[in-house]
């Protein structure tokens, strides 16, 4: 017999609620989904426990294909040896599932973006922040003007970094040849979004002005 930890016990309690309510109520939907998924949207979000896209967009199972990682980043198109998890998910979503919309959703109080801004993890070893430091190095170029003009501390600078990170991911998405091509053909739309944790307001990016406004 498995002796659950407090954490597992809480998860299992949630699972039982899900079986009672969620599963039964949406039984038909789950049955249909048995044959396969046809989500129309790919969402790239942060792993942060406060910004679950399915919760924020109140969607049903099968509606959104989600990639979550530290700071909601899409790396550039790279074909070097390595395990390219985000690229694999992107390839599957765009080429196989043929999603029509890709949403990059950054968020307020993002620890990954803050570390990119302060550079506090730079030079640390794997296990001591080194993996995070390597990952968020992607934001170094976008950080420069923010650090210069606003500084590296305080919410104003942090928010600027969080929103710039969304733009970095959008730019990197467009380095994938098939994403660029499909966007040109209007087969897929790329969208920048930002979820402000404190007030729960979703903002959308207007790429022409570079400004985020409440949705």
Q: Cβ closer to Zn ion: 39 or 106?
A: 106
d(CA 183, CA 100): 9
Binding window for Zn ion (CB under 5 A); candidates: 27-35, 112-120, 130-138, 200-208: 112-120
Binding window for Zn ion (CB under 5 A); candidates: 5-13, 53-61, 103-111, 140-148: 103-111
- DSSP string across 53-103: HHHHTTPPTTSEEEEEEGGG-------SSS--HHHHHHHIIIIIS--SEEE
Per-residue binding letters, 37-66, with Zn ion (x by CB under 5 A):
---------x-x------------------
Using rule CB under 5 A, residue 115 touches Zn ion: no
d(CA 46, CA 92): 19
Using rule CB under 5 A, residue 110 touches Zn ion: yes
Q: Cβ closer to Zn ion: 112 or 192?
A: 112
The answer to whether the Cα torsion of 91, 93, 98, 99 is positive or negative is: negative
- Interface with Zn ion (CB under 5 A): 46, 48, 110, 112
């Amino acid at each position: 017999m498995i002796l659950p930890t407090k954490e597992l016990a809480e998860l299992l309690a949630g699972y039982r609620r899900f079986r009672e309510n969620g599963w039964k109520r949406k039984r038909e939907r789950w049955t249909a989904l048995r044959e396969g998924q046809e989500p129309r949207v790919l969402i790239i979000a942060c792993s942060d426990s406060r910004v679950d896209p399915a919760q924020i967009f109140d969607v049903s199972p099968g509606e959104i294909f989600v990639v979550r990682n530290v700071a909601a980043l899409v790396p550039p198109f790279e074909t070097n040896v390595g395990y390219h998890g985000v690229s694999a998910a992107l390839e599957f979503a765009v080429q196989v599932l043929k999603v029509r919309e890709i949403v990059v959703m950054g968020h307020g109080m993002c620890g990954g973006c803050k570390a990119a801004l302060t550079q506090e993890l730079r030079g640390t070893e794997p296990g001591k922040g080194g993996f995070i430091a390597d990952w968020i190095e992607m934001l170094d170029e976008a950080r420069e003007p923010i650090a210069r003009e606003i500084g590296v501390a305080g919410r104003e600078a942090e928010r600027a970094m969080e929103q710039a990170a969304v733009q970095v991911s959008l730019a990197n998405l467009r380095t994938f040849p098939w994403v660029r091509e499909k966007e040109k053909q209007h087969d897929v739309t790329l969208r920048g979004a930002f979820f402000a944790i404190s007030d729960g307001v979703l903002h959308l990016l207007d790429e022409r002005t570079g400004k985020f406004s409440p949705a």
